[in-house]
Structure 1
Amino acid sequence: MTEESRDVDLETLTVTSGEWLRGTGPDSDIVVSSRIRLARNLAQFPFPPQADDGTRMEIEQVLRRRVESLSCTGRLGYISVDSLDQLDRQFLVERQLISREHAETHGPRGVGIGSEENVSLMINEEDHLRIQVLRSGYSLDECWNDINRIDDALEEHVTYAFSEEFGYLTSCPTNCGTGIRASVMLHLPALVLTKEIQKVFQALQKISLAVRGLYGEGSQAMGDFYQISNQVTLGQSEDQIISKLKEVVPNIIAYERRVRKALVKENRQRLHDQVSRAFGILQSAQTITSEETMHLLSSVRMGINLGLVEGIEIPTVNELFIHTQPAHLQKLRHEMLESAERNVARAAYLRQRLARQEPHEN
């Protein structure tokens, strides 16, 4: 192990927050985070779906050595994902550090994680390597600069599978070309409340942008969070793909802000009542599901940004969205819990975290 690498203690992660949850980035009232992911494969090995465990182990050894020796990312930690139990794998998914596919696949695999949790490098997911950079707020350019630097540093030491005709070769043909997936996580409660969100979906579909839930492909939208990302990677440059998102996202941000202002102007009292009720339930519930928690926290998060709630900050709400998820809750309690038990434990955790907070109308 190099001086720059370390083993990651999952227990310490339960009481910290990644940079992307801190609400410090540009336009973070609407844009929770920006993310860019690159799919890469080594030229001399079969793609992971065709590789046996012996080959996967060889791939992991080659890439782990390179990941741990990276000097452009700050201090990196490493986790052997195949050695984790199901709860710890789900914990990393909730943390946005690995994908669901990485958690659920088989054989030797791992992930390198930056100390700020804004860099993760998944080894032996659907592709040999998935590089991810995640940042708070609307920060696509910063994400691209970071990930491009990491990709270049790795490519100095390994040979990627590349075709002059098709670009970077990947397990799934839809990722060929640049291998890039650029996305932003938006919080759009006002558009959901007014049912204007369908207009946004239809407009995005027409220009080949995908809309997914909190945990990406195949996940449902929870807490009014939506990931918007490119669908096409072949035939376009990285700059073109990122520019397309950058043309669209500011319009959605402006749309959400306009609708929020209209809601306050039309009936501030009713909106304040909705936010206060949501806050009150979170402070006093004796049992609460993950889905209801997300819905209520969404109202409170909007209320903070509209000046309807004082005494609680956006980073706290962002953290609660993650810490009340099933795996986080069980890690915090240091015990396995059935669904009904998790609902009771979640309510107790929320009461503890929000005990001294009071809603307030300016």
Structure 2
Amino acid sequence: MDLFSMSLKSVEDHWNRLKNASSTSFLKRNMTELIFKELKDKRTFFNGTLLDCIKGGCVNLDSGCGIYASDPEAYDVFSGIFFPVIKDYHKVGTVSHPNPDFGDIDNLGFGDLDPSGRYISSTRVRVGRSQAGFPFHPTAKLHDRVELESRAMEALQAFSGELEGTYYPLSEMSSTKQKELTEEHYLFLQENRFLGDAHVYDEWPVGRGIFYNPDKTFLVWVNEEDHFRFISMQQGSDLEAVYKRLVLALRSVEEKSSVKFAHHPQLGYLTYCPSNLGTTLRASVHINIPCLASQPYFHEFLEKHHLQVRGVNGVHTEMVGDVYDISNKRRLGMTEIQIVREMIVGVQAVLAEEQRLDGSLTKSDGVQFEGNIAA
């Protein structure tokens, strides 16, 4: 933390900095003086405060969201700011979410998104989850991190078959293993200033770790931004296999361990950041689309199909060549199976537009223009 950040002592100091600054964060757009006064003295069961929630966004004026939950209860205690942010970010008129529905995983009918292999190099589906009854980073103590890691290790031991793997605590990881996983882009690092100023790296690396199977097609991050990040991925474009693997893993944890996921009747699954509520599901492809990406309407095209773009190394990272990380944008207000189907339709539209712009390919090259999953 720099000297300037240390000079901001009170919640009033932080709010005044944001209030008087030029910022486009969702926090700045939705916080008013009245809302601030109503919330500034409230506390959660875990002693979470408004400052715990908004500190990162007040220090980093270029934050996108600008607000995190101090703990699961913060979404209700500080609903005066969280609910407007959630409505604004997720583009919904009311805050509501349906019951989980992953679909019939034995009859998904997704097909291969890019059987030609020309465009999509890899496919990933991930979700965030929180252990019910545990605080998030701003209010977590050392014993909370240790206890949560212990519960996570117990849950991970329940995996069998393709999901079975090994857990590596960061506090015990050798420099050789860390270098290996970092170069392969599997390991989360202590490098994001937005997360750092929002307490995510407090007491690092205690309680953090990574689990993965031998083929590295299934990973679990423990105590990075969220308590759990379940990640299913593989080379190519077989989304059905990736999605099914993830669903089976989640069911295994719920049915075979003591871990209970935090869930809210209006918000769905609860995680640290309000941008990642509801299903918390992000289905993505690494896709090579030089023609479409060079068009001035590229981002408008993605927005139309409810897609978002990131660098291939995650949020706040740069693009690598003409390869982009394209994923669903909506997570709240729809079921898991609806979101994945919407993502498929969007990716098909991207592929069709790239092919149209390229002009040298035909439908016989294998790109799916029509699918049976649009319903």
Contact in 1 for aligned 2:280/2:331 (Cα 8 Å):
yes
SS at match of 2:162: coil
Instruction: Give the C-alpha shift of residue 56 in structure 1.
Output: 0.7
Q: 2:351 aligns with which of 253, 263, 282?
A: 253
Instruction: Give the C-alpha shift of residue 241 in structure 1.
Output: 1.0
Q: Map 1:211-290; keep pairs closer than 5 Å.
A: 211-262=309-360
Q: Map 1:114-125; keep pairs closer than 5 Å.
A: 114-125=213-224
Instruction: Give the C-alpha shift of residue 218 in structure 1.
Output: 0.6
| Equivalent residue number for residue 30 of structure 1 | 119
Shift in CA distance, 115/86, structure 1 to aligned 2, threshold 3 Å: closer
Q: Distance in 2 between matches of 1:25 and 1:81?
A: 36
| Equivalent residue number for residue 291 of structure 1 | none
Contact in 2 for aligned 1:102/1:122 (Cα 8 Å):
no
Q: 2:157 aligns with which of 57, 62, 68?
A: 68
Contact in 1 for aligned 2:125/2:243 (Cα 8 Å):
yes
State the Cα deviation string for residues 285-335 of structure 1 (Å, max 9, x = none): xxxxxxxxxxxxxxxxxxxx9xxxxxxxxxxxxxxxxxxxxxxxxxxxxxx
Shift in CA distance, 86/212, structure 1 to aligned 2, threshold 3 Å: farther
Shift in CA distance, 48/72, structure 1 to aligned 2, threshold 3 Å: farther
Determine what percentage of the aligned residue pairs are the same residue.
29
SS at match of 2:297: helix
State the Cα deviation string for residues 225-264 of structure 1 (Å, max 9, x = none): 10111233111111111111111112222333444454x9
Instruction: Give the C-alpha shift of residue 125 in structure 1.
Output: 1.1
Q: Distance in 2 between matches of 1:207 and 1:190?
A: 18
Q: Distance in 1 between matches of 2:329 and 2:171?
A: 29
Contact in 2 for aligned 1:79/1:111 (Cα 8 Å):
yes
| Equivalent residue number for residue 274 of structure 1 | none
Contact in 1 for aligned 2:305/2:346 (Cα 8 Å):
no
Q: Distance in 2 between matches of 1:93 and 1:205?
A: 32
Q: 2:239 aligns with which of 136, 140, 163?
A: 140
RMSD over aligned Cα atoms: 2.9
Q: 1:177 aligns with which of 278, 298, 310?
A: 278
Contact in 1 for aligned 2:307/2:346 (Cα 8 Å):
no
Shift in CA distance, 255/206, structure 1 to aligned 2, threshold 3 Å: closer
Q: Distance in 2 between matches of 1:259 and 1:87?
A: 45
Q: 1:82 aligns with which of 152, 171, 176?
A: 171
Q: 1:189 aligns with which of 290, 293, 316?
A: 290
| Structure 1, unaligned runs of 5 or more | 1-23, 265-304, 306-362
Instruction: Give the C-alpha shift of residue 140 in structure 1.
Output: 2.1
Counterpart amino acid of residue 352 in structure 2? A
TM-score w.r.t. structure 1 length?
Answer: 0.60
Q: Map 1:322-341; keep pairs closer than 5 Å.
A: none
SS at match of 1:97: coil
Q: Distance in 1 between matches of 2:187 and 2:250?
A: 18
Counterpart amino acid of residue 220 in structure 2? L
Contact in 1 for aligned 2:311/2:320 (Cα 8 Å):
yes
Shift in CA distance, 191/213, structure 1 to aligned 2, threshold 3 Å: same
Shift in CA distance, 25/230, structure 1 to aligned 2, threshold 3 Å: closer
Contact in 2 for aligned 1:72/1:150 (Cα 8 Å):
no
Shift in CA distance, 72/39, structure 1 to aligned 2, threshold 3 Å: farther
| Equivalent residue number for residue 352 of structure 1 | none
| Structure 2, unaligned runs of 5 or more | 1-112, 366-375
Shift in CA distance, 212/100, structure 1 to aligned 2, threshold 3 Å: farther
Instruction: Give the C-alpha shift of residue 47 in structure 1.
Output: 1.9
SS at match of 2:241: helix
Shift in CA distance, 162/78, structure 1 to aligned 2, threshold 3 Å: same
Counterpart amino acid of residue 176 in structure 1? L
TM-score w.r.t. structure 2 length?
Answer: 0.58
Contact in 2 for aligned 1:102/1:125 (Cα 8 Å):
no
Counterpart amino acid of residue 119 in structure 1? F
Q: How many residues are matched? A: 240
SS at match of 1:131: strand
Structure holding more helix per residue: 1
Shift in CA distance, 25/251, structure 1 to aligned 2, threshold 3 Å: closer
Instruction: Give the C-alpha shift of residue 72 in structure 1.
Output: 4.6
Contact in 2 for aligned 1:101/1:125 (Cα 8 Å):
no
Instruction: Give the C-alpha shift of residue 69 in structure 1.
Output: 2.7
Contact in 2 for aligned 1:38/1:130 (Cα 8 Å):
yes
Shift in CA distance, 261/207, structure 1 to aligned 2, threshold 3 Å: closer
Q: 1:131 aligns with which of 221, 230, 248?
A: 230
Contact in 2 for aligned 1:186/1:227 (Cα 8 Å):
yes
